[in-house]
Structure 1
Amino acid sequence: MTQFAKGATIRRDAGLYGFERALARQGLTPVAGVDEAGRGACAGPLVAAAVVLDRPIPGIADSKLLTEARREKCFDLIMKRATDVSVVIVSAPDCDQMGMHVANISALRRALARLAVRPGYVLTDGFPVDGLGVPGLAVWKGDRVAASIAAASIVAKVTRDRIMVQLHEEYPAYDFATHKGYCTSLHQEKLDEHGPCPEHRRRYVNVRAAMEGAVREQ
């Protein structure tokens, strides 16, 4: 990843589209934002998204700051109005096989590669992602300060939440529709009671402990 474009500056009051406007002034367009959802969950897939915006989309913000209903509305607007959107889904077994960091970096790269529009610059949330093939910048809390990253966070979050609701129908004992596979007290209670299902990530300590407990009880 490179540093931010030389000569480009972001004012503190530039707003959510400040990065995109500054890069456009430098001719570094289109700008793609990439982000993921589910990295910290102990069940379900990891989902990465890449989004290219060419115009403001009302209401978008960090997906974690929006209500579920608002995320769904923003998701629909992004899918209709964004220049390009791509999504990559990494299954729980694949996350176990690769390890979460490798799975995460790989998913972000693949999401960017699947865009039909080749970006001139890439903004990532929090940490740098090498090997993207274009210049880019890791933005601290990027989903709160850069519109394209915020849009990617919404697409990834809504896509993953919908998957977890579907998995709830397949594995109702774990109540995936409520906690979406994250390590909540409710999820841990269900995990300890029933042991892990195929959607649980075996690399996680709490999942391994539940597996061992289920074996001892047999």
Structure 2
Amino acid sequence: MIRPGKGIYGYERALARAGLAPVAGADEAGRGACAGPLVAAAVILADTPARRVRGLADSKLLTARARERVYDEVMAKAVSVAWVRVEPDECDQLGMHEADIQGLRRALLRLDQPASYVLTDGFPVDGLGVPGLAVWKGDRVAACVAAASVVAKVTRDRIMRGYADTYPNYAFEVHKGYVTKLHQQRLEEFGPCDIHRFSYANVARAKVVAP
């Protein structure tokens, strides 16, 4: 049972009391983007005062500067961290829901310490060989899922800033591949590039501009 008022580590503590530690959390970034990879991350945290991550929260609730600080703490203090990228063409082939599930599964299986229980944000993930729970808004209520959300977001943002150098016409450093007014303007002006997801209607409609 999750005891009210126990904070963001409540799920992990309840599962540890039930003999189900270590607990891994998993989340993704980039599901709603129309360009760039989907990045999934998995994290096992240590719930001790010295290794507790200060200011840990859902990545969407943190400023870019705060995410970078929390990311550094997670990487330094977590028991295990893993992440994977699902490339745009695979996202197109699988569909975004299946790409999401496969990305989360791959990240969890890549952890160098096996989990005894898994918490995921929103969607259940099978094929792990251990029990798990899909938690609604898990990145806001479970520490390990929040940590995974930060790792996925920061990692993907860095990837997209790198793509801004390769594809300077699209301003990927600004919108990170999500569907914004600026991105749509550039997409319509220059046509899709290699990292766009062509299964998305706005990308498919964009005129391909000859070099």
Matches within 5 A, 1:66-145: 66-145=62-141
**Where does structure 1 lack aligned partners over 5 or more consecutive residues?**
1-8
Question: C-alpha separation between the residues in 1 aligned to 2:80 and 2:23?
Answer: 11
Show the counterpart of 2:37. 45
- 1:1-218 correspondence runs (5 A): 9-55=1-47, 56-210=52-206, 213-214=207-208
Report SS of the residue matched to 2:118: strand
Deviation per CA, 1:104-161: give whole Å up to 9, x if none.
1111111011111111100000121122210010100000000000000000000000
Q: Structure 1: which 4+ aligned runs deviate by more than 3 Å?
A: none
* Whole-angstrom CA distance in 1 between matches of 2:30 and 2:161: 14
1:12 CA displacement: 3.0
Q: Which amino acid in 2 is paired with 1:29?
A: A
CA distance in 2, matches of 1:133, 1:154: 25
> Please, what TM-score do these two structures have when normalized by structure 2?
0.95
Match of 1:3 in 2: none
CA RMSD of aligned residues (A): 1.3
Same amino acid, percent of matched pairs: 63
CA distance in 1, matches of 2:129, 2:33: 29
> What is the CA-CA distance between 1:13 and the residue it aligns to?
1.6
Q: Report the count of equivalent residues.
A: 207
Q: Distance in 2 between matches of 1:102 and 1:75?
A: 26
CA distance in 2 between partners of 1:162 and 1:73 (Å): 14
- 1:68-106 CA-partner distances (Å, limit 9, x unpaired): 000001101100100000011111112112221221111
The letter for the 1-side match of 2:67 is R
